[in-house]
Amino acid sequence: MNKALVLGASGGMGYSIVKELAQRGIDVVAFARGKEKLAKLFANEKKVMISPGDAFSLESLKEAAADVDVIFHAMNIPYPEWEKKLPVLMGNILESARHANAKLVLVDNIYAYGRSTGALVTEKSPKNPHTKKGKIRLQLETMAKQSNLPVLIAHFPDFYGPNADNTLLNYTFERVIKNKKSMFVGDRKIPREYIFTPDGAKALVELALMDSAYGQNWNIPGSGVITGDEIVAILREHTGYNKNVGTVTKGMVQFMGLFNKMMREVVEMVYLTEEPVVLDGGKLEQEIKSIPRTPYKEGIKQTIEHMLYNLDQSDSVPQREM
């Protein structure tokens, strides 16, 4: 791989993929909507060329994909737009990959697996999504597989890490670093799986460098499971936070959904906080030998330090008056 395009480069996993590729000496086109954010994120990366654009414009995508060997699709859009827009987006990405004669790497979640059976989920586990969003993810996977392109599909648990802003754990972390009353989504006693985005990016890029990995699905697990209580204890240790941390229950999400379209879409996914899906990494371990697994204590510490640094930077920049 000499040159790669990362779609969604300003998001949590996209950001980490760009950084990982650049560290390996690979030229990277970092694609996302916001020019200023891209410039800020990758200002010191000599191997990175920023490419602000709209992924719903096929011509814009084709232009960004010119001369790349691999396209990494790490984009996401708000839940309410999934049903109408994600198939269109996937169609544009597949056409751009075909036009560039490039391989395609898809960053996917665990929604298509449906409800947990209590056992670890392998790549051979049946996909029986019971939610609207799980069915959409399976539809997109089917589109990719039917394209006859070399496609690698990677399933990840919930993200956390540097620049992973739109995540459940970030919702908790953000309030903690501002020393405000924080909330944790779901039962804090139930062990769940998360992945530190730099770990996920390392494993994904390692796979993307292997021709044999394409045409397959891969589970990329985190560092085991952890309870909300354990996460809160780590946060207190690193920050000195001493306020109570509340719990966001399904009932609270349902109530917020009466007034908020996004929360209405979130309700059906709350099952993942009650019946966690945990990925088996056996297939991945056989292929790359050693799965990157930063301990939660260290991963959370690095995430908090990154957030605090960015908070300090934003506080030091004079704000324009309206």
**pLDDT tens for residues 276-315?**
999 999 999 999 989 999 999 999 999 999 999 887 665 4
Quote the Cα angle for 260-8-318, to 5°.
75
Compute the average pLDDT of residues 7-29: 97
Positive or negative: CA dihedral 90, 95, 100, 103: positive
Contacts of 138 (CB under 8 A, 6+ apart): 112, 127, 129
**How would you label 144-160 residue by residue, b for 16+ Cβ within 10 Å and e otherwise?**
beebebbbbbbbbbbbb
Alpha helices in the chain (DSSP H): 12-23, 35-41, 58-65, 82-100, 132-145, 168-177, 197-208, 228-239, 250-257, 261-266, 271-274, 282-288, 296-316
Give the DSSP H/E element, type plus range, for residue 160: strand 158-160
**pLDDT of amino acid 166:** 86
Does this model's pTM top 0.85? My answer is yes
Mean pLDDT, the chain, rounded, equals 92
Q: Which two tokens stand for residue 175?
A: 């309030």
For the stretch 247-286, pLDDT in tens is: 988 888 887 766 677 778 888 899 999 999 999 999 999 9
CB 37 within 8 A of CB 103: no
Q: Above 70 in pLDDT, residue 50? A: yes
State the pLDDT at residue 250. Answer: 84
180 versus 264: the higher-pLDDT residue is 180
Inter-residue contact 15 to 41 (CB < 8 Å): yes
Question: Within a 10 A sphere around the Cβ of 297, how many other Cβ atoms?
Answer: 15
| C-alpha–C-alpha distance, residues 315 and 94, integer Å | 41
Place of tokens 């060997």: 69
All structural domains of the chain: 3-164+193-224+277-294 (3.40.50.720)
Does 316 score more than 80 pLDDT? no
Q: Is the pLDDT of residue 318 over 60?
A: no
- Given pLDDT bands bounded at 50, 70 and 90, which one contains residue 40? very high
* Per-residue confidence (pLDDT) for residue 256, from 0 to 100: 75
Q: Which residue has the higher pLDDT, 60 or 263?
A: 60
192-196 and 225-226 beta bridge pairing: antiparallel
- 145, 112 in Cβ contact below 8 A? no
Provide the β-strand partners of residue 182. Answer: 245
Q: How far is CA 88 from the centre of its chain?
A: 20
